[in-house]
Structure 1
């Protein structure tokens, strides 16, 4: 898929992506042809399960060596499937270790099966969040709480598609410590320069590479 293929995504799924109002937006598209699959139902189910098993994302986003750890609503590590209301802590391993920077946190704001409307489809939306193990609601992410990443997985008669849509991405400067502000500026700058795009593209391609 190319950048101009946004309008090929079913309208019911596009409506799940927040409106772009401020800051930066990104769109990452990947797909595989169903004719390459021996059993498309099994392949789609496998890819869907991969998407929901967040702790294994590290295996697929190999180009950026990013760590993904699923947490339950109380901030405890979870070996289960992604669930609406759960958290994910993320670290660009090499970059953040060099900067001695802590993890970033997002929560799973939406997790919706759209099978009644679009055939087989799943939408998962992530938004920057606080560290659920800490008191208070200060966002522990280099983007503000208005930012989002929306994953759209669906298939039609010829292909299985996975796209990731970033919206309203702004540097999070509303933090309590100057060091944290500098850290957010540094990480957001690297993200804006393309590392986050590379991360999501690597993850999407890895999830679709069912072989």
Structure 2
């Protein structure tokens, strides 16, 4: 199976990948519009994502470049702290970090598409440690996307170029290999599917 080629999603070059999508159809145009408006509010409420995906899934929190928590819509160069179930990065106090590298919005005719692309990053505000604090290397990306074609709305997460992060301490390197390989084998897709389904659970 090949990765889907989708505008706004980085090209797959090496490592693992996944295409995780959830869809809902609404025959009533007005109801479709209302539901997509709700979805957009949920999509930009990163700190509440766990409320939609469920208690036993990853927790997401938005931070600025200095490592201070944010309570607003995400912007390019913001960071997201991820707390996945199970052991986390020891150097990062149990968390994984990504930085938002792109936010795009595309609206043509009846199609509207919004995406947020993230890449594994260092810990914001920590000048003493420049290592990537994530189980994937900095080549990996995760693109969160919502779209509406007038009849069907979709929430999706697209992972690209996923390979374990070897630039870490010995203990974290072993953890990154285990979690990274598990993710590449599809375990992380269960988490992403919970999020995409949850965002569409009206």
TM-score by length of 2: 0.88
Decide which moves more: 177-186 or 28-37. Answer: 28-37
Say if 2:87 is the partner of 1:96.
yes
Partner of 1:11: none
Q: Distance in 2 between matches of 1:21 and 1:5?
A: 10
Instruction: State the secondary structure of the residue aligned to 1:30.
Output: strand
Instruction: State the secondary structure of the residue aligned to 1:114.
Output: strand
Q: Which runs of 5+ in 1 are unaligned?
A: 8-13
**Residue pair 2:32, 2:151 contacting (<8 A) in 1 also:** no
Q: Distance in 1 between matches of 2:163 and 2:63?
A: 25
* Superposition deviation, residue 65 in structure 1: 2.3
Q: 2:8 aligns with which of 9, 16, 27?
A: 16
* Superposition deviation, residue 110 in structure 1: 0.8
Partner of 2:69: 77
Q: Distance in 2 between matches of 1:65 and 1:166?
A: 17
Partner of 1:10: none
TM-score by length of 1: 0.85
* Superposition deviation, residue 196 in structure 1: 1.1
Q: Distance in 2 between matches of 1:24 and 1:165?
A: 11
Q: 2:149 aligns with which of 142, 156, 161?
A: 156
Partner of 2:162: 169
Instruction: State the secondary structure of the residue aligned to 2:185.
Output: helix
For residues 95-146 of structure 1, the C-alpha deviation after alignment (integer angstroms, 9 at most, x for no partner) is 127x996100001111111125773210111110110031143110000011
**Residue pair 2:22, 2:156 contacting (<8 A) in 1 also:** yes
Q: Distance in 1 between matches of 2:173 and 2:3?
A: 36
Q: Distance in 2 between matches of 1:127 and 1:72?
A: 15
**Residue pair 2:3, 2:18 contacting (<8 A) in 1 also:** no
Instruction: State the secondary structure of the residue aligned to 2:27.
Output: helix
Q: Distance in 1 between matches of 2:20 and 2:30?
A: 26
Aligned residues: 199
**Residue pair 2:63, 2:81 contacting (<8 A) in 1 also:** yes
* Superposition deviation, residue 205 in structure 1: 0.5
* Superposition deviation, residue 190 in structure 1: 2.9
* Superposition deviation, residue 91 in structure 1: 1.2
Q: Which runs of 5+ in 2 are unaligned?
A: none
Instruction: State the secondary structure of the residue aligned to 2:186.
Output: helix
**Residue pair 1:63, 1:198 contacting (<8 A) in 2 also:** no
Partner of 2:116: 124
